[in-house]
Every structure is written in C-alpha cells, then in structure tokens.
Amino acid sequence: MLEKCFTIENNIRQFDFKTCIAYINHAGKQKYGSNFRLHAEDKEIIYKLIIYAIRAEDNCIEHGIDLNKGILLIGPVGCGKTSLMNLLKLFVFPEFDYPVVSTRNVTSEFHADGFQVIHKYGKSRKVYCFDDLGIENNIKQFGNETNSMAEILLHRYDLHVNLGIVTHGTTNLNANELEKLYGNRVRSRLRSMFNLISFVESSLDKRK
C-alpha cells in the first residue's frame, strides 16, 4: 500500500525511498507480470521521478528539477520509460494525475477525426503524458500533410505559459532528432515545458 511508503510529520508526507522502490516493484509485477523489476543502474532516474511526483520541493531544487514543468523521459527502446511513467502515477496528487497516451494512437485519431483531435489534446486543461514522441507518422488531412503532435505540443506550450498546465512525454530521440521531426519552434518550447530526465545510452533492453 502507498500509505506504507511515508509518514506524516507536521501535515507533510515524508517518503522513504527504499519503501517506494519496493512498492513500485510490487505494483509493477502486478501490472506487467512477474518478470518486472527495477534495475540498480536506474536508481537515480527513479529517485528523480519520485521526488517530482511527490512534489518534494527542496529535493527537486537540489537536483535541478522544476516543479512548474513536466517530465520528458528520454532513453533507448526497451529501457522502461513507459512502465515508469505509468507507475509514477501511483505517487502523484489527484490534481496532477495524467493518462499515458500513445502518440501513434493520437495520429490514428487525427486520421479518423481530423483537427478536432488537435483541439482535444492541445487545448485541454488536462495533464497528459504523450508516449513515444517521434514514432508517429505525419497524416494527410484534406490533402495537407500535418504533423499533429507538433501542433499539439505548440498548443500545450501555450497552456503551460498562460495557465501553468504541464505536459509529460517519453521519447527515444535526442534533441537534434526531435528538432528535425518537429521543427525548431517546437524544440525551443520543449526546453521551457519539460525537465529532461535521461537514461544512459547503454541502458539494457529490459523487455528481453
């Protein structure tokens, strides 16, 4: 149970990191199967994600994490990005909860329903985590090729600037690859929208 991960002191939740790790491992096995486990080399990344989720301000400042921004989790294929962003939801306060949405599904919705999908995700005041940024394909709508995720991210930037609403994401692309795909307008805004948390390139494919 999540309640076992913390004590309350002066009406503030004080989390025990080792207990949090055990809880994530337990929840991960329930959600993804008995082969799920966290890896020692990912301890620092998991720690950063947890202190962000529980909004431990002093710890976040110490590690250069801005609570006013979202998380962009970067790493090679199979390193566990999507699993961690799903399990991180266990720790967030209800007002910061988010669905994890595949960018491939977003572009499929755009193909079926058109520009209302850009409004659905881009202008909603809901927090979203867009999974696998960069794997989606551009879709032609009424003869015009549109990068639907680029448009959504530009709208999400406006929400962030004007209303403080955050967006999360995962990707296996680096900054230059994201710029090539989405353009320099999007890349410049990504710096303002996200805390970049990266797995090392040598991270194992944990799905094997």
Q: What percent of the chain has pLDDT over 70?
A: 87
- Would the pTM of this model clear 0.85, i.e. be above it? yes
Q: Alpha-carbon torsion 9, 15, 19, 24, what sign?
A: positive
Pairing type for strands 144-146 and 139-141 reads antiparallel
**pLDDT(17) > 90:** no
For 12-47, the DSSP string reads EEEE-HHHHHHHHHHHHHHHH-TT----GGGHHHHH
**pLDDT(89) > 80:** yes
pLDDT of res. 139: 44
Tens digit of pLDDT for each residue in 28-39? 999 999 999 998
Which domains are present in the chain? 6-198 (3.40.50.300)
Tens digit of pLDDT for each residue in 126-175? 999 999 998 875 444 433 445 889 999 999 999 999 999 999 999 999 88
Over range 53-60, report the average pLDDT.
91
- Number of residues written out for the chain: 208
**pLDDT(201) > 90:** no
pLDDT of res. 7: 74
Spatial CA neighbour of 106 closest among 145, 85, 70, 133: 133
Helices (H), 38-196: 43-53, 57-62, 81-88, 103-113, 116-122, 148-163, 175-182, 184-193
